[in-house]
Amino acid sequence: MPMTPTPKRVLPWLALPMQEWVRGYDRATLSSDLVAALIVTVMLIPQSLAYAALAGLPPQVGLYASIAPLLLYAVFGSSRVLAVGPVAVVSLMTATAIGDLAQAGSPAYGALAITLAFLSGGMLLLMGVLRLGFLANFLSHPVISGFITASALLIAAGQLKVILGLRVEGHNFFALVLGLLRHAADTHVLTAVLGLGTVAFLFWARRGVKPLLLRAGLGPRLADGLSRAAPVAGIAVTAALTWAGQWQAQGVRIVGTVPQGLPPFTLPAWDLALWQQLAVPALLISVVGFVESVSVGQTLAAKRRQRIVPDRELVALGAGNLGAALTGGFPVTGGFARSVVNFDAGAQTPAAGVFTAGGIMLAALLLTPALYYVPQATLSATIVVAVLSLVDLRILRSTWDYSRADFTAVVATLGVTLAVGVEAGLVAGVVLSLVLYLYKTSRPHIAEVGLVPGTEHFRNVLRHQVRVSPQLASLRVDESLYFANARVLEDRVNDLVATRPQLRHVVLQCSAINDIDASALESLEAIDHRLREAGLCLHLSEVKGPVMDRLQATGFLQHLSGRVFLSHFQAVTELTPEIAAVAA
């Protein structure tokens, strides 16, 4: 794999990243990009149709949404290999956001999808210009993980309905599963055979096709490329069978007529009341899409020692969604599967994306009549196989082992998403994880420490055999001090003073205190004041530079009843020499 030149410096923020790769573009890069584009195009055609169906939109909309966004991302994006277009979770969120406002498949529904893409694009662009990319960081990994898993299960359950040819209504996962079980007897057998057969074939194809092709004497590169065409093969075969048997007459639902032609020029609805209604879903779609896209982009960029610029990605994804809105599409983002395929197929520059867009455009112009007999159950089968790979229930086990707070966040996100819906689940997860974080920092670990004999180290008196003096108490606070936890320290010191009549000195070891806010400073002043009133002294040790700078700007250190020591050992040896003497 040829190494691309590494940029020597961070680009001035608004310069187009294109400049970086257009200059050195040569024949070898062109050939790599063209091969990658061909493979991605073949993979994208069925995927685009399927995700449009998942979003409740006509199939051609999936193709439209895979053209302009790819071109615009190539101009503005900072990743070399990210492929932008419809993805499963965002398609589900789109269906949820506009499902109650219009009948799926109707022109009004399409107009809503366009408006949603427009709003999402505008928000992403604005966040990029205002450099608000850090907001996405408030979606924790456990929340994202629980959300993606729950969304995948929701999508799979919804598609199973199509695969079995059932008409089940369900507002949440459990209602959907219950409905499927209750109406199982009404399964349309021919549809189910086609759909489940395709599912089985695709699961097998994941592992089975490549070795077969290799054994047949094909090169590994070609075998890999061909194995990715399994969904296309599945669609072609089931469409051919349906045509041969004219199964649509027997109730197998097919894609039907797909208009031929280039993407149309469209505009969003200029309706402020509607915008207000769609604002929250658009924001959630933007944030989820951004997080998914950036994590894919970062993973792939790092493999070649390249980098992506998150705020730049916001601009590029914003442009992509605005592009989708202007060309009859729906909300898009950088997809995991297609980007990895693009990378593995050897794409070197965003030109591969431009070529892919060209390929999809040709498909929209020429190929749509061939889609007439494709059974909807086959498209659903490709979705089910794709999304089930997103289900990751191991996160429950790993967070349980690692951190109960994270486990709680996963369970809440997963549970609320399945039981109520994608938007409620996401909001519940974010709010809960913030509340748990604040709760944790509001109850900091405060250890009373003593001298480990023969050393200058101090350790928790509850865990180690250490030397302490009844005249001196050493407290180590393992958290920055701020308003939510400052009083915990006050309470702890008050306890010490009330319960140890011999106490004369309290020393705070500040090595883990990264910040002291105004509330905590007042608490320290209150502690110092109370200690002084009771005839005791408050000392500090190992205060960090930046914290010391700020304390020195106040009167606190001048009025402190005790002193500030460089090291905790120094504090203890000077204040209670007998302890140090015994230790030495």
Residues 384-403 binding a copy of itself (CB under 8 A) are 398-399, 401-403
Compute the least distance from the CB of residue 23 to a copy of itself, in Å.
Answer: 18
19 lines the binding site for a copy of itself (CB under 8 A): no
Report which of 258, 550, 465 is spatially closest to residue 379, judged by C-alpha positions. Answer: 258
Compute the least distance from the CB of residue 126 to a copy of itself, in Å.
Answer: 18
Q: Which stretch binds a copy of itself (CB under 8 A): 66-74, 226-234, 295-303, 384-392?
A: 295-303
Cβ–Cβ contacts within 10 Å for residue 132, how many?
15
Q: Which amino acid is at 106?
A: S
Q: For strand 505-509 and strand 537-541, is the pairing parallel, antiparallel, or unpaired?
A: parallel
| Nearer to a copy of itself among residue 204 and residue 439 (C-beta) | 439
Q: Which tokens in the block code for residue 373?
A: 């007999």
Give dist(CA 486, CA 497) in Å, integer.
17
Give dist(CA 482, CA 519) in Å, integer.
6
Plot region of 582 (φ>0 → left; ψ -120 to 50 → alpha; else → beta): alpha
Where would I find the H helices in 164-188? Answer: 173-182
Helix 336-344 vs helix 351-362: crossing angle, to nearest 10? 110
* No. of helices (H) and no. of strands (E), the chain: 25, 8
Q: For strand 505-509 and strand 472-477, is the pairing parallel, antiparallel, or unpaired?
A: parallel
Q: Which amino acid is at 354?
A: V
174 lines the binding site for a copy of itself (CB under 8 A): no
CA atoms within 13 A on the CB side of 384: 24
- Determine which residue in the list 212, 554, 559, 577 makes contact with a copy of itself, applying CB under 8 A: 554
Q: Which residue has the tokens 């949820």?
A: 96
Site for a copy of itself in 94-153 (CB under 8 A): 134, 136-143
Compute the least distance from the CB of residue 514 to a copy of itself, in Å.
Answer: 5
Are the CB atoms for 179 and 163 separated by under 8 Å? no
Q: Which stretch binds a copy of itself (CB under 8 A): 58-66, 328-336, 341-349, 548-556?
A: 548-556
Q: Indicate the SS3 state at residue 219.
A: coil
| Number of chain residues interacting with a copy of itself (CB under 8 A) | 80
Q: Which amino acid is at 45?
A: I
| Nearer to a copy of itself among residue 311 and residue 415 (C-beta) | 311
Compute the least distance from the CB of residue 376 to a copy of itself, in Å.
Answer: 37
- Cβ-in-10-Å burial (0-12, 13-18, 19+) of 549 comes to exposed
| Nearer to a copy of itself among residue 68 and residue 409 (C-beta) | 409
Q: Which residue has the tokens 């008196």?
A: 461
Compute the least distance from the CB of residue 138 to a copy of itself, in Å.
Answer: 5
Cβ–Cβ contacts within 10 Å for residue 72, how many?
26
- Determine which residue in the list 488, 537, 557, 564 makes contact with a copy of itself, applying CB under 8 A: 488
Compute the least distance from the CB of residue 174 to a copy of itself, in Å.
Answer: 27
Are the CB atoms for 160 and 385 separated by under 8 Å? no
Strand partners, 29: none
Site for a copy of itself in 405-424 (CB under 8 A): 405-406
557 lines the binding site for a copy of itself (CB under 8 A): no
Give dist(CA 252, CA 165) in Å, integer.
8
| Nearer to a copy of itself among residue 104 and residue 490 (C-beta) | 490
480 lines the binding site for a copy of itself (CB under 8 A): yes
13 lines the binding site for a copy of itself (CB under 8 A): no
User: Mask: binding to a copy of itself, 249-288, rule CB under 8 A, as x and -?
Assistant: ----------------------------------------
Q: Which stretch binds a copy of itself (CB under 8 A): 63-71, 185-193, 334-342, 439-447?
A: 439-447
440 lines the binding site for a copy of itself (CB under 8 A): yes
Compute the least distance from the CB of residue 66 to a copy of itself, in Å.
Answer: 28
CA atoms within 13 A on the CB side of 515: 8
User: Mask: binding to a copy of itself, 491-530, rule CB under 8 A, as x and -?
Assistant: x--xx-xxx-x---------xx-xx-xxx-xxx--x--xx
| Nearer to a copy of itself among residue 271 and residue 478 (C-beta) | 478
| Nearer to a copy of itself among residue 63 and residue 489 (C-beta) | 489
305 lines the binding site for a copy of itself (CB under 8 A): yes
481 lines the binding site for a copy of itself (CB under 8 A): no
Are the CB atoms for 68 and 378 separated by under 8 Å? no
24 lines the binding site for a copy of itself (CB under 8 A): no
| Nearer to a copy of itself among residue 43 and residue 416 (C-beta) | 416
Compute the least distance from the CB of residue 3 to a copy of itself, in Å.
Answer: 10
Are the CB atoms for 314 and 125 separated by under 8 Å? yes
Q: For strand 458-460 and strand 446-451, is the pairing parallel, antiparallel, or unpaired?
A: antiparallel
Q: Which tokens in the block code for residue 63?
A: 């193709």
Compute the least distance from the CB of residue 518 to a copy of itself, in Å.
Answer: 4
CA atoms within 13 A on the CB side of 161: 21
Give dist(CA 428, CA 30) in Å, integer.
47
As a residue count, the chain comes to: 584
549 lines the binding site for a copy of itself (CB under 8 A): no
User: Mask: binding to a copy of itself, 62-81, rule CB under 8 A, as x and -?
Assistant: --------------------
431 lines the binding site for a copy of itself (CB under 8 A): no
- Cβ-in-10-Å burial (0-12, 13-18, 19+) of 420 comes to middle
Compute the least distance from the CB of residue 10 to a copy of itself, in Å.
Answer: 7
Compute the least distance from the CB of residue 550 to a copy of itself, in Å.
Answer: 7
Q: Which stretch binds a copy of itself (CB under 8 A): 53-61, 186-194, 297-305, 367-375?
A: 297-305
Site for a copy of itself in 209-228 (CB under 8 A): none
- Determine which residue in the list 301, 326, 347, 560 makes contact with a copy of itself, applying CB under 8 A: 301
434 lines the binding site for a copy of itself (CB under 8 A): yes
- Determine which residue in the list 544, 557, 563, 570 makes contact with a copy of itself, applying CB under 8 A: 544
| Nearer to a copy of itself among residue 206 and residue 544 (C-beta) | 544
